[in-house]
Amino acid sequence: MKTITAGVLEIAYEDIGPLDGKPVILLHGFPYDVHAYDEVAQQLATEGWRCLVPFLRGYGPTRFLSEHTFRSGEQAALGADLLAFMDALSIPSAVLGGYDWGCRAACIVAALWPQRVRGLVSCGTGYNIQNIALAGQPVSPEEERRYWYQYYFHSERGRAGLTQNRRDLCRFIWRIWSPTWAFDEATFERSYHAFENPDFVEIVVHSYRHRFGGTPGDPALQSIETKLAEQPNISVPTCVLQGADDGVDPPGAIDHAERHFKTPFYQRRIIPGVGHNLPQEAPAAFADAVRSVAR
């Protein structure tokens, strides 16, 4: 484990593979951590890739430099953190891969700073930049049911639940989002320690309240949010991976995200027998996607 000062954070990260290897940055989601990429990183490192796997803000040993910094979980914060991480490590460009929150960070950097991205592996929705202006529009009852946790965190009851029942709540989410993944308790516990970060609850609650326009964002990030409100297209080589058994974001018959990708190389792959935590459940498929966008 290494740490580096990047923007408003001291970011903890794993650095696996040769230092002069082709860089790939692997980004976890909520509620997961860097262990989601253990097997992916090992596979790629043996092929000469340098795999950088950071803990996002609010997770693991990553810490804010100042107690006065806004504890924002908004999408612009995730994108800004990733860009600052690349700058701090003097990485001019890299392949970016992520799912859930990590996918959002990767999509933002790919959309706003495409010169920094050699290729993108995006899990789940594919185009994971939030359209906050339309967040108040209802969706189908089935989809609304899957988003119960987001509405839960809008209330102080939800904040208290995440604080007091953190382990059980996160384990429950793992089970229902990946119903065919037979993870054991040791696997969960390795990642659970990352959720004991002192800023975890505040970051999570702010993230889900902000995405629905229910709370203000960090004024320092407003310029990025303004650009994201335009729903910018992504022009870098992209492979979208979706788990066929994803309990929160199941793939549909129509790829509605494809219209946001203006690139000669775009693929969508649906992986059978896999849920939401795609890199940990199907590391070979994720590693192959990284190779495909770097050609």
Mean confidence (pLDDT) of the chain: 98
How large is the average pLDDT for residues 9-19? 98
Please measure the distance between the N-terminal and C-terminal CA atoms of the chain and give it in whole angstroms.
29
- State residue 295's pLDDT score: 78
**The two structure tokens encoding residue 279:** 């890199």
pLDDT at position 130 over 90 = yes
DSSP H/E element including 288 = helix 283-293
Residues 6+ apart with CB under 8 A from 33: 55, 59, 60, 191, 193, 194, 195
How large is the average pLDDT for residues 64-71? 98
- State residue 174's pLDDT score: 98
165-214, pLDDT tens digit by residue?
A: 999 999 999 999 999 999 999 999 999 999 999 999 999 999 999 999 99
| Predicted model pTM | 0.98
Bond before 31 cis per omega within 30 degrees: yes
Measure the CA–CA gap between 202 and 218, rounded to whole angstroms.
13
List of domains in the chain: 2-293 (3.40.50.1820)
Measure the CA–CA gap between 283 and 110, rounded to whole angstroms.
22
Q: Using alpha carbons, select from 247, 269, 290, 231 the residue that is nearest to residue 96.
A: 290
Q: Using alpha carbons, select from 8, 250, 28, 213 the residue that is nearest to residue 131.
A: 213
pLDDT at position 219 over 90 = yes
pLDDT at position 67 over 90 = yes
